[in-house]
Amino acid sequence: MSETTEQMQTVARLWQEHRHASFPDSLRSAKFAGMYVWPLDLYTAGCVLHWLDNGCTLDSEDCRIVQSCIEDLARVIPEIIEPAAAEYCQRLHQLAVLVAGDPSHAT
């Protein structure tokens, strides 16, 4: 199996999990590292959908957005104490890293 096929399967599996997970109540209005999580969820989801719909590629704007989400999630995750909320954000971070194609940010 090629690396791209494996990456696509991993993203598809994680995306399926993420889509079926409820956004944790503890993340709805709380700020972590000075920012809300819901926009990171929204922007990352958009990039994942574009990546899946465009043959595993992102345009330059999506690349910029997903890189920003990776950096912001890396700052947010250590501040989240609720396990389910942390798991939700870690999965989101992993998705962002996979679609960005940058294993140096893997969790």
In this predicted structure, the answer to whether residue 6 has a pLDDT above a threshold of 90 is no
Tell me the average pLDDT across 54-80: 95
Distance CA 75, CA 91 (A): 15
Tell me the average pLDDT across 13-25: 96
pLDDT tens for each residue of 47-64: 999 999 998 999 999 999
Torsion of CA 8, 58, 14, 20, to 10 degrees: -130
In this predicted structure, the answer to whether residue 104 has a pLDDT above a threshold of 70 is no
